[in-house]
Amino acid sequence: MSRQQRAEIDAMVRQPQPQAPRSVEEMRAGFRAMMGKMIVPAGIRTRTARLGDRPAVRVEPVGTSKAGTILYFHGGSYVVGSPETAMSLTGNLVTRTGFRAFSLDYRLAPECPFPAAIEDGVSAYRALLDSGEDPSAIAFAGDSAGGGLAVTTCLAARDAGLPVPAAIVAFSPGLDMTRTGESMDTKAGVDPFFTREGLAPTGAMYLAGQDPHQPLLSPAVLADLAGFPPMLLQVGTNEILLDDSTRMATRAREAGVDVILDVTADVPHVFQAFAGALDEADEALDRAALFLAQRIRTRGAARMSAG
């Protein structure tokens, strides 16, 4: 654990941000620039693919990969981001597990608000199943909004009659569009990235007038998690979204779901993206990789390729 590393990361992400309202294009460019500074691990190879109706990036370890697939959902408040902006996270999961991943380029708001991203997630999962993948060899993972999508895609898939995947890993997931968690207020000023007011514009773009009091928008407070696969929720104490994870963990336990709530002190939102620069990030990714390795099961059958 390095207090100096944590302090340096905190200072870096607290750099002054533009105060004037930004266009969606400016927001997307700014996010690309920020995430472009993250360290992408060596030892991966990527190529374009398609899952369902959407593009994706297929990420594999150099050399032989293990049988197993991670369906990854990038973060970005449902408005910004892409498979490329999440490559530090996807790449680290791939190199640490030996599994391949598909990082989905799901539709973004405001052009395509709720529930477009969830529909894309279910379509991608269905494509993996149709290609011959066994659900016991598939895990969902994601960060921030993508962590939320990992959960809500599982909800929608289950409700559509599909088998659930083997596991879910969510890094600092957004799981409550009602914004009723106590940490929304208790962590105000502590969180170097977000404020309640700062989340409002992108939240409104994704909601597009929909009531947030729906399971697919606020699963931490409203979802029926019966039959869910094991979940790993990783979050930092310096997050206004902290209680999204703590309440989801409680809800999962009450539904009889195996869940690990993994809280790291004094780190910001999606701190795992700072792997290579923050010891806690690397350690958290090691724990996530172990969780996936323990949950993904293969039956020895030849795996067919999707994309």
Active-site residue set: 144, 239, 269
> Phi, psi at residue 52, to the nearest 5°?
65, -130
Half-sphere exposure of 145 (CA within 13 A, CB side): 27
Tokens 């921030």 -> residue:
144
Angle 249-270-13 from CA coordinates, rounded to 5°: 140
Dihedral of the alpha carbons of 9, 25, 175, 184, in degrees to the nearest 10: 60
What's the rounded Cα separation, in Å, for the pair 199 and 163? 33
